[in-house]
Structure 1
């Protein structure tokens, strides 16, 4: 049996070695990790092929298979993401605010590593490398607990990355992969409040709810991505179609894919037939309300549950709304605080849409697929938070640090004088 507490303690000790490295040393370590991934590409892809075969034999859904799959291009992208993280500014030690108080003490707010981050995730072997890169760059240790469906891929990726760590003089335990995938082991990990500083689950809604409900350590989470595109009355319809196709089709299994299309009633007669043709050309099933059915008669009738669904597949729910306010009301009722998009040429409508919604990411005339740490300038992302804690939205390096106070004085005391 795995002694998960001992593994976590070893990771915490190793994290201190990571935090002690200079920025240049941590960056060099990340570059070496990227090189190691590319050097081990044949072994990693062979391991991934084994995972894919086992998943197919179990009847795993197409969306999960897509998340699991690696190829030369995706592996190259993972290595590139590590290099991008290495090139990012180092948040550790950054002074975010400095002021001198009336009594002469100087108060600084300084970014410092969180400590030990536990990643609980399914299917996505890229998370193994992305999480390692971000956590280590920010001076943390990371404990990875992936799913059984990706265990071969995760082991191969971890082996490459740990080799680079040890070459940099960092204990391999700074990047710890939990190989014991029993639920009891995960539960024990989530109880280690004296060792683990933050848990980040990535995967399906069931996994995230399980972690949130059973953890005693702090949890950053988003349950699902029910992302909307609202096409306003005066939208550029060609632009709106591009946003629709890219948002729904380019990678439907991603959490930033569109799941619902809202169309202003004033342009529904003109826009919906074009939208339906574009969706069907890409094999997308449409599920629409009565107003949508009146314009596009052969759409599947939508239920209220369809508007709450994260399909992660080539399916989209459609609704005709009478106004911008009605679109906002729909999103407030059915949204998941992930990403919302408006297509409009009216600046006032765009401003109202942005102000009225509290979602982590709000787009104006841009694809929902940009709701991604790499696309938003964070390098690789460790997750997306729809929890209003210290981080909200795509999480990059800064989200893996916290601010602490550093106070400099010249002998000042608060109550004693003389």
Structure 2
């Protein structure tokens, strides 16, 4: 059991880490350049996630500063009850203990996820991908310096430099106590962790996000939201992959032609279902399984639905349970959509790109969960806790 650090100690470490990131920025950029030069894969989403630049470092620093300014998530009373015999019962938030984060490519996870885990009183085991090893080792060295500068032991943040076999062995027979595992990455990583883990796993799932353009949609708004969702960051799990158009949309053909022209400006490959595949600039869907795919690429599918109910059914059938949006001026349609679509985040007239702990006011995120237990959507500081019952009496027996 970890001896709990008080909130002043935890905040001091986070602020020291923010200062060290600013001070050692060039060392991190140099290490990341080595990682980028070594990456020989053709996965453009992986490459985008791997890259660290000034803007990403500023984001890391801001995340740490925001975390330090937030209230302590521990010891928050969720329930209290006084028994008729005088026993006082309360329930308060408590840390999990030790959290293992397994992730691919993204050095910023070494800051944001570790910061959230640490502020919520947990020890962190970090298992990053081999493609980001140089960047991650610099960041972990800074974590250890931040801990040491505040009189805290290094073992609050540990980097596991394991290959795949060693990782599998650790998952099956951990050499130390692990209370929770969070995999952040593609479906193969998630399946690997779920297959071998012997403790609870929170799945930071895939996107495959949908937008439905209702018959009563504002067409310019719809266009802006689609372009933003698809083209601004194709490596993000909150990016847009599927567009459903209501068959009764006014000026539907004109809208679709405009949409295709705008997508082509960003070199987006456009696939279309049978109802829309005659549109110039699109290719017909070859296989229904494409509806299940998360692309993480400049690729999108457009399809037609007869009404709102069919759109909801399609999203619940094919979507990843991450984010879904309706564009409409009809508030009743919006409410029906948001109540019945089975996704962690549902939107009315806004881009799915906002599904993010920082954008939701959480001060960052450990992951975005598509599980329903114990937390769904962005997992922030206040969610990376379990609970404990406190029972106080003066000799009562049952």
Residue 325, structure 1, aligned to residue 325, structure 2: no
> Which of 294, 300, 303 is the matching residue for 1:316?
300
- Equivalence for 2:81: 99
Deviations 1:298-353 (A, max 9, x none): 30111312211111011101101110011011111111111111111111111111
Could you say what secondary structure the match of 1:379 adopts? coil
Q: Is contact 1:209–1:223 with CA below 8 Å preserved after alignment? A: no
Moved more, 126-135 or 218-227: 218-227
Q: Is contact 1:289–1:318 with CA below 8 Å preserved after alignment? A: yes
> For 1:54-93, what aligned pairs fall within 5 Å after superposition?
54-55=38-39, 58-93=40-75
Unpaired segments ≥5 residues, structure 2: none
Residue 299, structure 1, aligned to residue 299, structure 2: no
- Equivalence for 2:163: 182
Deviations 1:221-265 (A, max 9, x none): 144111001111101111111111111111011000001011111
Residue 401, structure 1, aligned to residue 382, structure 2: no
Could you say what secondary structure the match of 1:77 adopts? helix
> Which of 64, 74, 91 is the matching residue for 1:109?
91
- Equivalence for 1:7: none
Q: Is contact 1:34–1:83 with CA below 8 Å preserved after alignment? A: yes
- Equivalence for 2:18: 34
Q: Is contact 1:190–1:199 with CA below 8 Å preserved after alignment? A: no
Deviations 1:187-225 (A, max 9, x none): 232235671000000111111111111111111114411
Distance 1:184 1:135 in 2: 26
1:406 shift after superposition: 0.8
Could you say what secondary structure the match of 1:102 adopts? coil
Residue 241, structure 1, aligned to residue 204, structure 2: no
1:65 shift after superposition: 0.5
Distance 1:330 1:135 in 2: 36
Q: Is contact 2:205–2:322 with CA below 8 Å preserved after alignment? A: no
> For 1:89-168, what aligned pairs fall within 5 Å after superposition?
89-168=71-150
TM-score (norm 2): 0.96
Distance 2:204 2:151 in 1: 36
Unpaired segments ≥5 residues, structure 1: 1-11
TM-score (norm 1): 0.92
Could you say what secondary structure the match of 2:267 adopts? coil
Q: Is contact 2:326–2:334 with CA below 8 Å preserved after alignment? A: yes
Distance 1:48 1:71 in 2: 9
Residue 335, structure 1, aligned to residue 319, structure 2: yes
1:158 shift after superposition: 0.9
- Equivalence for 1:200: 182
Runs of 4+ more than 4 Å apart: none
CA RMSD of aligned residues (A): 1.3
- Equivalence for 1:232: 214
1:99 shift after superposition: 2.0
Residue 173, structure 1, aligned to residue 155, structure 2: yes
Q: Which has the higher helix share?
A: 1
Distance 2:164 2:149 in 1: 33
- Equivalence for 2:366: 382
Moved more, 117-126 or 103-112: 103-112
1:270 shift after superposition: 3.5
